[in-house]
């Protein structure tokens, strides 16, 4: 298409930009960086945002970062018409109503066979609803979890697309290049499955992330509050941990955090950060889904509770005054601690607890996959989490191998390799929990992980008493260990007769 401009001395021919391969709507931090990543991999991309200044900002960044093939548009019609058919548009907008509003704006200009991809943290049932609505218009739809934060989106995220297989095939070549690349296992993307499976897997990923972060925070608390480690010592500890079995993105950035000085006052910045943790909802959804599916996820649930309690800053300050006036300080013991031994014990406790957190997340994914008939491959999920995403860690490779050995593995805890590692670490794990309890340090994640392990490994639990109580007051019946069928006992009558 040519645009001819005439002047007295010459004719100037301006060429319109060629049709692009893909479009992206929503240019906040994640959207901008993913768009630049796509362009950087050689795929011409159109971008659009309702706030036009974001479009101009992204175009300018593309010029500065290597004159990348990125084209900005200020209105939805020209944006859509700039993309080659069948058109593919990625949305990166806030979950919920904004997604529906964006779909409504864009779908007016889309044609049959075109595809919309939601790259946000959306509730999986919303994705399934939208996929059906788009199908009625002849459009394809994908819900694609994208993990890795700002840096991951720009350099290579882990991506979890679910929904239309045809839609995935239309952009598979793009996703394979844009995703994080792990030398021994390939691009960190795969077609997850039908419906809202991609969003569900990303949701559980975030739940595992909640658990991971809480466990690391508790390790920090024990080392700092009981071990009296300085920020410089903590920086070195986490650097060392990141060279071994705990090698992971979260341990790596934790080491970085302890090394950063405050640029506005003396000391380290981490000590000036307010102890209130925010959240966007995916952790809560994970815990709710675990409850709905009757899947125990205490490590993830305790991390959510910890965030709720952190939000009660003013109440906690007042409670601290109440108990301090009663002679109850923050740390209950002033005993001498062997720092080297403590650091090693906490390392082992952190690793064992992490296994529990991942095991709970994987069990939740499997339960939902069975309920929905998604046929999800847990080993493949572990593979695409090895790079790009927030929970990427060295031991994800070993999780993949565990499911490769046994696709029907009931729980990571009973995989022979993981079982051996937990047995080797349980003494240190128990020492850390006991030390924390005796010192008045809350370690809900590490403690509930240990309780999860201790409950799961026992062949007989006190649940027999709970069931007897239920039958006593509610005639809920019970099963016996030595006979088939259900039974009910008139506990109250028998008890009363024995008192006569």
Report the catalytic residues.
202, 209
Any known ligand binding at 339?
A: no
Both structure tokens of 425: 């670490």
Any known ligand binding at 177?
A: no
The answer to whether 192 and 201 have CB atoms below 8 angstroms apart is yes
Q: Which residues of 161-179 are buried (b: 16+ CB within 10 A; e: fewer)?
A: bbbbeebbebbbebbbbbb
What gap in Å lies between CA 257 and CA 213, rounded to an integer?
13
Any known ligand binding at 375?
A: no
Whose tokens are 């819900």? That residue is 143
Any known ligand binding at 464?
A: no
CA-closest candidate to residue 45, choices 67, 64, 19, 65: 19
Sheet holding 88-91, edge to edge: 70-73, 45-48, 22-25, 88-91, 115-118, 140-147, 158-163
Any known ligand binding at 228?
A: no
Any known ligand binding at 440?
A: no
What gap in Å lies between CA 227 and CA 194, rounded to an integer?
49
Any known ligand binding at 466?
A: no
What gap in Å lies between CA 140 and CA 112, rounded to an integer?
8
Any known ligand binding at 438?
A: no
Any known ligand binding at 109?
A: no
Any known ligand binding at 307?
A: yes
For strand 158-163 and strand 140-147, is the pairing parallel, antiparallel, or unpaired?
Answer: antiparallel
Both structure tokens of 361: 């997340």
Any known ligand binding at 94?
A: yes
Any known ligand binding at 369?
A: no
* 5 bridge partner residues: 12
Any known ligand binding at 49?
A: yes
Any known ligand binding at 443?
A: no
Any known ligand binding at 71?
A: no
Any known ligand binding at 28?
A: yes
Any known ligand binding at 147?
A: yes
What gap in Å lies between CA 224 and CA 219, rounded to an integer?
9
CA-closest candidate to residue 250, choices 188, 206, 204, 305: 206
Any known ligand binding at 6?
A: no
Any known ligand binding at 329?
A: no
> Could you give the C-alpha distances from 399 to 67, 117, 159, 160, 394, in angstroms and in order?
41, 29, 18, 18, 10
What gap in Å lies between CA 50 and CA 76, rounded to an integer?
9
Both structure tokens of 288: 């709710």
Any known ligand binding at 326?
A: no
Both structure tokens of 65: 């970062």
Any known ligand binding at 205?
A: yes
The answer to whether 149 and 120 have CB atoms below 8 angstroms apart is no
- Binding site, annotated residues for substrate: 121, 147-149, 205-206, 210, 280, 307, 470, 476
- Binding site, annotated residues for NADP(+): 26-31, 49-51, 93-95, 121
- Binding site, annotated residues: 26-31, 49-51, 93-95, 121, 147-149, 205-206, 210, 280, 307, 470, 476
């Amino acid at each position: 298409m040519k645009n001819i401009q005439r002047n007295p001395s010459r004719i100037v021919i301006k060429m319109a930009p060629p049709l692009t391969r893909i479009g992206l709507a929503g240019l906040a931090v994640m959207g901008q960086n993913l768009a630049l990543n796509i362009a950087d991999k050689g795929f011409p991309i159109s971008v659009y945002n309702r706030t036009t200044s974001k479009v101009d900002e992204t175009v300018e960044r593309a010029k500065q970062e290597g004159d990348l093939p990125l084209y900005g548009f200020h209105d939805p019609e020209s944006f859509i018409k700039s993309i080659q058919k069948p058109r593919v548009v990625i949305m990166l907008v806030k979950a919920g109503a904004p997604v529906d509003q964006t779909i409504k704006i864009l779908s007016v200009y889309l044609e049959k066979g075109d595809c919309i991809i939601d790259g946000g943290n959306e509730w999986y049932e919303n994705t399934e609803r939208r996929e059906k609505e788009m199908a009625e218009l002849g459009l394809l739809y994908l819900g694609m979890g994208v993990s890795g934060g700002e840096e991951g989106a720009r350099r290579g995220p882990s991506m979890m697309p679910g929904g239309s297989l045809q839609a995935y095939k239309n952009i598979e070549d793009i996703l394979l290049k844009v995703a994080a690349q792990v030398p021994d296992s390939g691009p960190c993307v795969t077609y997850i499955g039908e419906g809202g499976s991609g969003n569900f897997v990303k949701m559980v990923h975030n739940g595992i992330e909640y658990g991971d972060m809480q466990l690391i925070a508790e390790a920090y608390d024990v080392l700092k509050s009981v071990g009296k480690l300085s920020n410089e010592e903590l920086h070195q500890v986490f650097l060392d941990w990141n060279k071994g079995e705990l090698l992971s993105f979260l341990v790596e950035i934790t080491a970085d955090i302890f090394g950063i000085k405050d640029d506005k006052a003396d000391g380290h910045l981490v000590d000036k950060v307010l102890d209130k943790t925010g959240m966007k909802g995916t952790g809560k959804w994970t815990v709710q889904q675990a409850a709905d599916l009757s899947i125990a996820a205490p490590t993830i649930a305790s991390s959510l509770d910890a965030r709720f309690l952190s939000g009660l800053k003013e109440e906690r300050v007042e409670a601290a005054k109440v108990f301090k006036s009663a002679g109850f300080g923050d740390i209950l013991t002033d005993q001498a601690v062997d720092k080297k031994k403590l650091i090693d014990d906490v390392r082992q406790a952190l690793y064992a607890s992490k296994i529990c957190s991942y095991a709970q997340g994987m069990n939740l994914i499997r339960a939902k996959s069975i309920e929905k008939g998604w046929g999800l491959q847990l080993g493949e999920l572990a593979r695409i989490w090895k790079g790009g995403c927030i929970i990427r860690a060295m031991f994800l490779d070993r999780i993949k191998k565990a499911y490769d050995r046994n696709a029907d593995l009931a729980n990571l805890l009973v995989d022979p390799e993981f079982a051996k590692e937990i047995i080797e670490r349980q003494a240190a794990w128990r020492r850390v929990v006991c030390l924390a309890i005796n010192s008045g340090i809350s370690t809900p994640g590490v403690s509930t992980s240990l309780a999860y392990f201790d409950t799961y490994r026992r062949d007989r639990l006190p649940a027999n008493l709970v069931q007897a109580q239920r039958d006593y007051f509610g005639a809920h019946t019970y099963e016996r260990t030595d006979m088939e069928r259900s039974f009910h006992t008139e506990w109250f009558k028998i008890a009363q007769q024995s008192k006569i």
